[in-house]
Amino acid sequence: MSFSFSKSQAYFEAAQKQIPGGVNSPVRAFKAVGGTPIFVKRAQGAYLFDEDGNRYIELINSWGPMILGHAHPAVTEAVSRAVLDSPSFGAPTVREIEMAALICKMVPSIEKVRMVNSGTEATMSAVRLARGYTGRDKFIKIEGCYHGHGDSFLIAAGSGAITFGKPNSPGVTEGTAKDTLLAPYNYLEAIENLVNANPNQIAALIIEPVAGNMGCILPKKGYLEGLRKICTEKGIVLIFDEVMTGFRLAKGGAQEVFGITPDLTTLGKIIGGGLPVGAYGGKKEIMDYVSPQGSVYQAGTLSGNPIAMAAGLALLSLLDANPEVYHTLNTKVTELTAEMQQIDRSLGLTYTYNQIGSMMNPFFTTAPVEDFESAKKCDTALFGKYFHAMLQRGVYLAPSQFESWFFSAALSDADYEHILKAHKAAMMEIHTA
């Protein structure tokens, strides 16, 4: 029996009348996979229910936050209690002290931290801080990494490996783009070229230590170490954008897994337990430049919001107290990845899978995927067919080939079995001429 999406279709029609594209964030509109986005009614644990009453095992989990499953009782209880004391004060609260202390404990490279309201705010602020701290204007961004929609990040590679970027969105000015330098992921020589071509002009290098926004791409052996060495030698602030990897790959994120200490870290997603929260933090020496202690201005009416802090504290406290959750989840996803590849081989297919911890996704290419150029070689149309074949079988994936899947500890063995069955049927369906 195939799913009916009639209510979602009607809601999508209605939504487009007063919301640009019918959504409040572009990727949700299913443009990368075609078809109509499903309108969600509710979610519980590992399952998401749409307005048509269809139930899905879901592997988006709000793009990361729901690592322990949707509507976790500890989080909903904390939010329900906190909201009774009023949702917001715009004044300091004890919860913000508790949150800062917990983040600094879980991510030891963070000596001081500032709460903001999204990953975008965190990355924008971290780059501004690095510029204020170093007195330099330029920064290096890695092609294919996504750091939110701040102007200076919406930049495409310019011609040649050592020229500055060009805007990749209307509304971003050439003036902004000239200070953003780009280099491919996993290519240290390009960084060395940029640094040599721009002596004493580069404030920061920002990177997703494990890329999730090209699909999941791992750093090659020595790559992160190389970045750390170059940044230390040249006085460049190394920023790990752990909005996605933070509190997901391990309690201490990718920097714990790879043993690399960045100067600043940006956080989001899991830190808010599903509420709008971001944060940036790092060395005290750098963070003390942030207003009002220092002169680098950054502010936010709802930063450190008491409800968001209650949700984030509830989730992070659970993860801090139960680190074995990571081992169990990471083991499950490692096993799932191997079993999906086994199924592919049984069908004569040899697609590429990248996986680390609970970040994973198949790439519809048989070549290695190590940077944005190789990711772009995927058959995105075939991925679109796969996406819908899985959706019809009750598995809701991220609606783009260029997204890592997000697993939760709420998935049961039966759920993993269901994913495998759906995967086999979907692969057979989309490869049947």
Determine the distance from the C-alpha atom of residue 144 to the mean position of all C-alpha atoms in its chain, rounded to a whole number. 12
Options 50, 179, 241, 263, the catalytic residue: 241
* Catalytic-residue membership of 179: no
Position with the least CB separation from ligand KE4: 119
Of 61 and 352, nearer to ligand KE4 (C-beta) is 61
Residues at the contact surface with ligand KE4, assessed by CB under 6 A: 25, 27, 63, 118-120, 123, 146-148, 208, 212-213, 241, 243-244, 268, 278, 403
Q: At its nearest, how many Å lie between ligand KE4 and the CB of residue 409?
A: 20
Q: Is the peptide bond before 37 cis (omega within 30 degrees of 0)?
A: no
Residue of 47, 56, 146, 396 with catalytic role: 146
Asked whether 127 and 116 are in contact (CB, 8 A), the reply is: no
Nearer to ligand KE4, 155 or 427 (CB): 155
Rounded to a whole number of angstroms, the minimum distance from the CB of residue 109 to ligand KE4 is: 17
Q: Nearest approach, Cβ of 378 to ligand KE4 (angstroms)?
A: 16
Q: How far is the CB of 144 from ligand KE4 (least distance, A)?
A: 11
Nearer to ligand KE4, 61 or 213 (CB): 213
In angstroms, give the least distance from the CB of 29 to ligand KE4: 10
Length of the chain (residues): 433
Is 297 a catalytic site residue? no
**For residues 69 and 278, which CB has a smaller minimum distance to ligand KE4 in the complex?**
278
Separation of alpha carbons 298 and 125, rounded Å: 7
Catalytic residue among 138, 141, 269, 424: 269
Q: Among candidates 7, 35, 47, which has minimal Cα distance to 386?
A: 35
Long-range contacts of 82-90 (CB under 8 A, 24+ apart): 82/306, 82/307, 82/309, 82/310, 83/307, 85/306, 86/306, 87/305, 87/306, 87/307, 88/301, 88/302, 88/305, 88/306, 88/307, 89/306, 90/301, 90/302
In the bound state with ligand KE4, the residue whose beta carbon lies nearer, of 149 and 377, is 149
The DSSP secondary structure of 344-358, one letter per residue, reads HHHTT---EEEEETT
Judge whether 269 counts as a catalytic residue: yes
